[in-house]
Amino acid sequence: MDGPFLSLGWLRMLFPEPIPKRDEEADSPASGSVGGGEGPKAWSVTQLIAQISTSLRQTLNRVVVEGEVSNFRRPTGPGHLYFSLKDAGGCVSVAVWASQARAMRFRLEDGLSVRITGKIEFYGPQGRLQLIGDRVTPVGEGELELAFRQLQQKLMAEGLFETSRKRPLPPFPTRIGIVTGANTAALKDMLESLRNRWPVAEIRLFPVLVQGEAAAGAIAGALRWINRVTRVPGHELDVVLLGRGGGSREDLWAFNREEVARAIAACVVPVVSGVGHEHDVTIADLVADLRALTPTDAANKATPELSKVSSAVLGARDTLVRLMEWQTDRLRQRINRARPQVMGKILESRVRATGQQAANSAKRLQNALLDQLRQRQGSLAVLCGKLDAISPLRVLARGYSLTQRLDTKTGQKQVLNHFESASPGDILITRLASGSIRSRVEEAFPPDQPGTTAGSPPVERF
C-alpha cells in the first residue's frame, strides 16, 4: 500500500524532546562506545516500533484529518477499504475496516475531498504510518447529499430514469397493491382516498418497514414478492402504490437506496411513488413509472373518480343515442330519396329475371311436349299397325266386299248383313277393295236356298 514511510523528521516533529534512555539500558555494561567511552545503548527495531506506537496512542489517539482521496481500490474479499489521503504537502495511507465501510452512505472515489475521524497507527511490518478511519464524511456537501448525487448519476447513466421505460397506468384498475408501513398515517390516507374515488377496486396490502437500516431490504423484498404473486392467476395486480409520510432526509433514506431503485425498475407492475411531501424527491420517485407528491396524491393519480366515470358513461350513452337517431334519420332520408331509382332497378331486375325464368320454363315445356309428342307418335304408330291389321279395307283386299243399302230420300247408307234388310227394288252400293258398284235388288233369299233360277231376268246393273 502506498504511503510515506516513518522517517527521523517525523519522529522529531512528533517528539521534539530527546528520547529518554531506559535505566536498565543506561546501566548495562554492554553500552559504551569504541575506545572505552560510555554512550546510549542501541534499541532494537521492535523496541523502536513499540515506542513509536505508544507515543502515537498517547499524543494522537483521536484525530480528524481532511484531504483528497487517491489510489482508491474497490473493496474485495472482507470489504475493507484502502486508499491514500493527500494534500499539497504530503499523503498518508488510510484503512477503513469493513464494519465502518458498510455504514457509509456514499461511495469513495479518487479526487473526493473527505474528512476522516480516526487514530494514527504505525504498521511495523512495513514501517508505515497509517490512519485507521472510524468515520468518513464528505467535505463541502453532506454525506446524504453526496450519496444521493452519486446514485442518481449512476442510475441515470444506466437509463433507469428514461421516460421511454415508464409504463402507462391502467385507466380502470381492478386490483391495487400498496407497499407502505402498517398502521401508518400514509396507509390510512391512501385507503381513504381509494374508498372515496374508486371503491370498486380490490386492495392488497404489503406492509413493510419504511425507516431504519432494515427498511430498504424490506421494501425491495416486497416488490420482488409482488413479481411472484402477480403471476398467479386471480392475484394479478394492475398498479402498485409505494409511499410513506413526510420526515427528514434521514427518515426517508430507505427510498434512496440502490436496492429499492432496482426493485422498482424490475417490478412487473407499474409503480406509483408517493414519498414524503411535495418538496421531497427520492431516487424511488425518479425510477417509478409515475411520481406523486404525497401518498394521498399517489392514490389519486392511480385511480379515476367513480362519480366522474359514471357521469362520463351516462353522457357517452346519451351522445351515442343522439348519434344513432341522427344517423337513422339520415339513412331514412337517403332511402326515401333513392327509393324510386332503387325500386325501378329492382323491378327491372325482377322483370329481367322473370323473363329469363319464363324463357327457361318455355324451353323446358317445349322439350317436354316434344318428348310427349314423340312418345304419342310411337304409340300411335303401334295402334295404327294394330288398326290396319283389323281394317275392313284389309278384308276387302282379300276379295270381300261391303254392301250398303242407299236411302234415296235421305241419302244415308245402311250396311246390309242380313238378306231380310233388302227388298226388291232397293238401291245397293257395294264397296270393293278398289272402287264401288251400284246395283238394284231383284230378289232376296236366305243362304240355304238356291240362287236365281234359269230363265229369270238378269239383275239390272247400273
For the chain, the structural domain boundaries read 8-140, 149-303, 305-346, 387-462
Mean pLDDT of 380-388: 80
Q: Does 3 have pLDDT greater than 70?
A: no
pLDDT above 60 for 12: no
More confident residue, 161 or 51: 161
Least confident interval from 21-35, 50-64, 220-234: 21-35
Q: Report pLDDT digits (tens) over 255-282.
A: 999 999 999 999 999 999 999 998 889 9
- What is the mean predicted confidence (pLDDT) over 6-28? 43
Q: How confident is the model at residue 17 (pLDDT cuts 50, 70, 90)?
A: very low
Q: Within 174-305, where are the H helices? A: 185-197, 215-229, 258-266, 283-287, 295-302
Residue 206 to residue 62: CA distance in whole angstroms: 46
Per DSSP bridges, beta strands 271-275 and 239-244 are parallel
C-alpha distances (whole Å) from 101 to each of 75, 81, 85 are 9, 7, 16
Lowest mean pLDDT among 65-74, 189-198, 206-215, 450-459: 450-459
Q: Would you state the pLDDT for residue 91?
A: 85
8-140: CATH number: 2.40.50.140
| Burial per residue of 194-229, b for 16 or more beta-carbon CB atoms within 10 angstroms, e otherwise | beebbeebeebebebbbbeeebbbbbbebbeebeee
Given pLDDT bands bounded at 50, 70 and 90, which one contains residue 34? very low
- Cβ 6 vs Cβ 52: under 8 Å: yes
pTM of the model: 0.53
Q: Classify strands 81-87 and 63-73 as parallel, antiparallel or unpaired.
A: antiparallel
Could you tell me which residue, 42 or 243, shows the higher pLDDT? 243
Among 90-94, 292-296, 453-457, the range scoring the smallest mean pLDDT is 453-457
Nearest to 86 by CA among 56, 123, 116, 62: 116
The CATH architecture assigned to 149-303 reads 3-Layer(aba) Sandwich (3.40)
Find, among 174, 245, 256, the residue nearest to 215 by Cα: 256
Q: How confident is the model at residue 6 (pLDDT cuts 50, 70, 90)?
A: very low
Phi, psi of 51 (to 5 degrees): -65, -40
Which residues, at least 6 apart from 211, have a Cβ–Cβ distance to it below 8 Å?
Answer: 181, 244, 247, 251, 252, 254
How far apart, in whole angstroms, are the C-alpha atoms of residue 275 and residue 253? 10
- Could you tell me which residue, 262 or 68, shows the higher pLDDT? 262
To 5 degrees, how large is the angle CA 268–CA 272–CA 277? 150
Q: Do residues 115 and 87 make contact, with C-beta atoms less than 8 angstroms apart?
A: no
